[in-house]
């Protein structure tokens, strides 16, 4: 079985092993593959493993032996799944592997905004505390999270984990989602766990979400409905000191609208781990924006999380080869 890994570096920069795949076939590995290189590298593949390399109908037609595409991520919009189905090519993804890591990243971004750990550390290391006449000082306002209203868009596994953490900070949690039964289930489980009959997560309308959230965090998939979910009109409905966080998909946010709101002090702060075009372009409006924190799509990238992803990807392929495919899309 000829296995071609087109862009494996992000998952495994050298601290993991491809041994699981090597036990299942003849592996050819590439750190990265440009658009112009895909067909030449993939043409003889029976198995393609990709992370962010797009595989469309044209490429599939140039790969006559292709039987399986394994996506090393949860999102699979890089694959023309309709074309794959027409050609009897199985496509799999990696669900729910990064729940804890992404939720952790949300609060790393949030507490950087509310506590300014990095800024204060730089100040101390520059000698400012040594020169201070007082036992303490701060270089921007500190914000307590307890009692704040924490809004969540989307209530899948990550949204639910984020809700648990927000509740542990004693925040008031509200959520907007089409899958309201997930919130009902979460509330029932929480009531049993805490021996408390209150409903910790309140279901709200979209307008209520924007109006009431002190912190708003996005955890929904990218669809035609959610593209530019955050835009100039929705930002106008938000509090002028609200904090907006996106660790979902970059195109859910209109970056020009966010930059304009930050420049005009109509948004308290914006933090994200994803942007519309990755890697970031020098023309991106968020570059050097005020009160804006951006990390380079690393929320998923803890060693433990990547190891879990590798294990699931290997299991997906083995299940396919055994005739019992799992995690198909």
Catalytic residues: 249, 278, 297
Pairing of strands 2-5, 26-29: parallel
With beta carbons less than 8 A apart as the criterion, state whether 294 and 268 touch.
no
Cα–Cα distance, 39 to 55 (Å, whole number): 9
Is the CB of residue 204 less than 8 Å from the CB of residue 237? no
Here the tokens at position 72 are 């090393």
Cα(160)–Cα(154) distance, integer angstroms: 9
Task: Please report how many Cα atoms fall inside a 13 Å half-sphere around the Cα of residue 151, on the Cβ side.
Answer: 24
Q: Measure Cα distances from 226 to 1, 171, 218, 219 in Å.
A: 39, 26, 10, 11
Q: 280: which DSSP letter? A: P
Alpha-carbon span 110 to 59, nearest angstrom: 41
């Amino acid at each position: 079985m000829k296995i071609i890994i087109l862009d494996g570096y992000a998952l495994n920069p050298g601290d993991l092993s491809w041994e699981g795949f090597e036990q299942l076939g003849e592996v050819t590995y590439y750190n990265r593959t440009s658009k112009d290189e895909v067909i030449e590298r993939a043409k003889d593949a029976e198995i393609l493993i990709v992370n962010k390399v797009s595989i469309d109908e044209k490429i599939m037609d140039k790969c006559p032996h292709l039987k399986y595409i394994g996506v090393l991520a949860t999102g699979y919009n890089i694959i023309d799944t309709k074309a794959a189905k027409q050609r009897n090519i199985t496509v799999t993804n990696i669900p729910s592997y990064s729940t804890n890591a992404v939720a952790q990243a949300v609060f790393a971004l949030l507490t950087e905004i509310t506590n300014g750990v990095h800024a204060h550390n730089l100040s101390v290391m520059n000698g400012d505390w040594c020169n201070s006449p007082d036992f303490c000082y701060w270089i921007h306002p500190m914000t307590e999270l307890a009692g704040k209203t924490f809004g969540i868009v989307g209530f899948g596994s990550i949204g639910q984990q984020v809700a648990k953490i927000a509740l542990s900070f004693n925040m008031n949690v509200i959520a907007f989602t089409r899958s309201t039964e997930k919130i009902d289930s979460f509330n029932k489980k929480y009531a049993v766990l805490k021996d408390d009959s209150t409903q910790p997560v309140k279901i709200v309308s979209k307008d209520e979400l924007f109006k009431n959230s002190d912190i708003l965090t996005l955890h929904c998939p990218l669809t035609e409905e959610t593209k530019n979910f955050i835009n100039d009109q929705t930002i106008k409905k938000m509090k002028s000191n609200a904090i907006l966080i996106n660790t979902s998909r970059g195109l859910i946010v209109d970056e020009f609208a966010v930059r304009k709101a930050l420049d005009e002090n109509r948004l308290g702060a914006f933090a994200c781990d994803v942007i519309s075009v990755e890697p970031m372009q020098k023309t991106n409006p968020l570059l050097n924006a005020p009160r804006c924190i951006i990390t380079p799509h690393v929320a998923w990238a803890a060693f433990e999380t990547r190891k879990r992803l590798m294990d699931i990807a290997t299991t997906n392929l083995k299940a396919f080869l055994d005739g019992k495919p799992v995690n198909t899309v």
